């Protein structure tokens, strides 16, 4: 693995981590109930994806316009591991050490949105009640939940990273003598 791959992976991973911290902080300041909105997560995901792709493109340019599948995937993977780790650690600190009471507000918002969605889909009352009980007994901000979320997120990012690496790879031409 080249120094360019490591350097760009780390630098762009830190950029995603800082982005994650800034978005989380802004949402926290504006209204913690916004954490129950899936749109924010989707938007953050796409911005992170774009940053990771930019890291691969910059690495490819720095390597003379050629990048192997392994190098492209490695850059992407490092970016996502570093960025996700920073974001997960910040979320854990914010909701478990700085302001644990905000978890209850978020959980209430999640329950409200879930109940409204399930009612609009015509779900039976028993199913709604069971789902609410499951939400209430799950601490999505515990260290175990954060680690599980981090790992599942990485699995998803790996799948996308394989596609990105396949699309970005470009081998150096071999000349015959």
Q: For residue range 150-176, what is the model confidence (pLDDT) as tens digits?
A: 999 999 999 999 999 999 999 888 765
Long-range contacts of 28-33 (CB under 8 A, 24+ apart): 28/94, 28/99, 28/102, 32/102, 32/105, 32/106, 32/109, 33/105, 33/106, 33/108, 33/109
Per-residue pLDDT of 100-149, as tens digits, reads 999 999 999 999 999 999 999 999 999 999 999 999 898 888 999 999 99
**DSSP-derived secondary structure letter, 78:** H
* Residue 2 in this model has a pLDDT that exceeds 90: no
Per-residue pLDDT of 55-87, as tens digits, reads 999 999 999 999 999 999 999 999 999 999 999
* Residue 98 in this model has a pLDDT that exceeds 70: yes
Output the pTM of the full model. 0.87
Per-residue pLDDT of 25-54, as tens digits, reads 999 999 999 998 888 889 999 999 999 999
């Amino acid at each position: 693995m080249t120094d360019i791959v490591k350097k760009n992976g780390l630098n762009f991973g830190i950029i995603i981590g800082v982005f994650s911290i800034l978005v989380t902080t802004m949402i926290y300041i504006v209204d913690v109930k916004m954490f129950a909105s899936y749109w924010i997560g989707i938007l953050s995901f796409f911005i992170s994806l774009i940053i990771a792709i930019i890291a691969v493109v910059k690495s490819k340019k720095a390597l003379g316009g050629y990048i192997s599948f392994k190098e492209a995937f490695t850059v992407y993977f490092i970016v996502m591991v570093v960025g996700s780790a920073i974001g997960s650690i910040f979320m854990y600190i914010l909701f478990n050490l700085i302001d644990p009471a905000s978890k209850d507000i978020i959980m209430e918002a999640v329950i409200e949105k879930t109940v409204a969605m399930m009612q609009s889909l015509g779900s039976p009352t028993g199913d709604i009640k069971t789902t609410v009980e499951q939400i209430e007994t799950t601490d999505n901000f515990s260290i175990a939940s954060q680690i599980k979320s981090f790992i599942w997120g990485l699995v998803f990012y790996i799948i996308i990273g394989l596609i990105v690496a396949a699309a970005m790879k470009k081998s150096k031409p071999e000349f015959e003598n």
